[in-house]
């Protein structure tokens, strides 16, 4: 009888400990929010490149993000985005628009649409709330640093209006702009600037160069708000930070791999509020071989330990 009671006690103790451990693990997981931003490149050629789409969707599913901000959702409808989202386990999605280059947000939790921001914007932006975070999904102009400066002011004014009610907010997406945190990674005589000077020679005022150099004002305005460039804190060097271009544009017959890599830029960001940045566990650009040919941009990810 004593042996039986001892075994019963041990069994109950083991079961209770396992249950508590399970609750603790579940609790930790439920408080961690993994965020991804991904420019998917012309909506998979406006829906025609089904093979690339299948590969990208399968890759995203493996990453298991809780929230994804998407850019270049060309030829998308709300129903089409919802179908994509379900492949990686998200039952909730919001699409900005059905025309042109749209942005969207998907989540494994309900999404509250706060605003579809189109006035004064090149492609438009989304303001949504999910998992306790206000998300501002952006895709700024690829053609004009002046337009990007205007767009950044619009978004920062929107953030100013919500920061008193929620200290957890993010601006993320394709900013088409360089960060001053990376300025030392772009040599004045490097391949990138030489190429950009050639491309912008006939449009010095509205092009992508300011005073013959990369324009850092857009990202600087967010940093001065202040918002935190969290990926910068977890990475070093252009190889870890490059988000554009991927290997899809590399042609070995026209240039060396060294020159191609010399065109590398970081123009995709997750910029977090100071309070939310404190909760960031890790952030990086997913620019390894597995994502070389999924898009012309690499995705950016960050994981937060929420309260």
- CA dist., res. 11 & res. 22, Å (int): 16
Give me the CATH number covering residue 66.
Answer: 3.60.10.10
Neighbours of 138 (CB within 10 A): 30
155-212 pLDDT, tens digit each: 999 999 999 999 999 999 999 999 999 999 999 999 999 999 999 998 878 899 999 9
Residue 195 lies in a domain: no
Residue 270 lies in a domain: yes
- Structural domains in the chain (count): 1
The string over 260-273, giving b where at least 16 C-beta atoms fall within 10 Å of a residue's C-beta and e elsewhere, is bbbbbbbbbbbbbb
Confidence (pTM): 0.89
Residue 141 lies in a domain: yes
Residue 163: domain span: 31-179+218-305
255-285 pLDDT, tens digit each: 999 999 999 999 999 999 999 999 999 999 9
Q: pLDDT at position 2, please?
A: 37
- CA dist., res. 238 & res. 184, Å (int): 10
Angle between helix axes 217-224 and 145-162 (nearest 10 degrees) is: 10
Q: pLDDT at position 138, please?
A: 98
Residue 35 lies in a domain: yes
Residue 243 lies in a domain: yes
**Could you tell me if residue 120 is left (phi over 0), alpha (psi between -120 and 50 degrees) or otherwise beta?**
left
Q: pLDDT at position 205, please?
A: 83
Residue 188 lies in a domain: no
Q: pLDDT at position 307, please?
A: 82
DSSP string of the chain? -HHHHHHHHHHHHHHHHHHHHHHHHHHHHHHEEEEEEEE-HHHHHHHT-HHHHHHHHHHHHHH--SEEEEE--TT--HHHHHHHHHHTT--EEEES-SSSS-EEEEESS--EEEEEE-TT-SS-EEEEEETTEEEEEEE--SS-HHHHHHHHHHHHHHHHHHTTT-S-EEEEEE-----GGGGGGS-TTSHHHHHHHHHTTT-TTTSSEETTEE--HHHHHHHHTT-EEHHHHH--SHHHH--B--GGG--TTTS-HHHHHTT-B--EEEEE-HHHHTTEEEEEE--SGGGTTT-SS--EEEEEE--
Q: Which residues of the chain have pLDDT under 70?
A: 1-30
**What percent of the chain lies above the pLDDT cut of 90?**
88
Residue 143 lies in a domain: yes
Residue 128 lies in a domain: yes
């Amino acid at each position: 009888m004593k042996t039986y009671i001892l075994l019963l006690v041990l069994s109950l103790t083991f079961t209770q400990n396992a249950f508590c451990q399970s609750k603790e693990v579940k609790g930790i997981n439920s408080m961690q929010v993994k965020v991804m931003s991904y420019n998917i490149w012309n909506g998979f050629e406006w829906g025609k490149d089904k093979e690339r789409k299948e590969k990208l969707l399968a890759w995203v599913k493996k990453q298991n993000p809780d929230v994804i901000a998407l850019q270049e959702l060309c030829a998308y409808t709300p129903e089409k985005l919802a179908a994509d989202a379900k492949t990686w386990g998200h039952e909730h999605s919001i699409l900005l628009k059905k025309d042109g280059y749209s942005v969207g947000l998907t989540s494994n939790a309900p999404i509250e649409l706060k605003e579809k921001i189109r006035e004064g914007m090149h492609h438009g932006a989304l303001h949504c709330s999910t998992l306790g975070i206000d998300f501002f999904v952006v895709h700024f102009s690829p053609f004009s640093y002046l337009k990007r400066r205007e767009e950044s002011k619009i978004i920062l004014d929107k953030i100013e209006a919500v920061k008193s009610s929620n200290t957890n907010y993010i601006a993320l997406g394709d900013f088409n702009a360089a960060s001053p945190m990376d300025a030392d990674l772009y040599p004045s005589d490097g391949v990138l600037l030489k190429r950009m000077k050639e491309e912008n020679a006939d449009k010095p005022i509205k092009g992508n160069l300011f005073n013959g150099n990369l324009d850092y004002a857009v990202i600087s305005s967010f940093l001065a708000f202040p918002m935190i460039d969290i990926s910068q804190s977890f990475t070093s060097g252009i190889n870890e930070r490059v988000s554009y271009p991927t290997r899809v544009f590399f042609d070995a017959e026209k240039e060396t791999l060294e020159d191609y890599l010399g065109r590398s830029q970081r123009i995709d960001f997750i910029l977090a509020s100071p309070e939310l940045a404190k909760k960031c566990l890790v952030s990086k650009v997913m620019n390894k071989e597995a994502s070389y040919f999924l898009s012309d941009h690499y995705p950016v990810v960050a994981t937060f330990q929420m309260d």
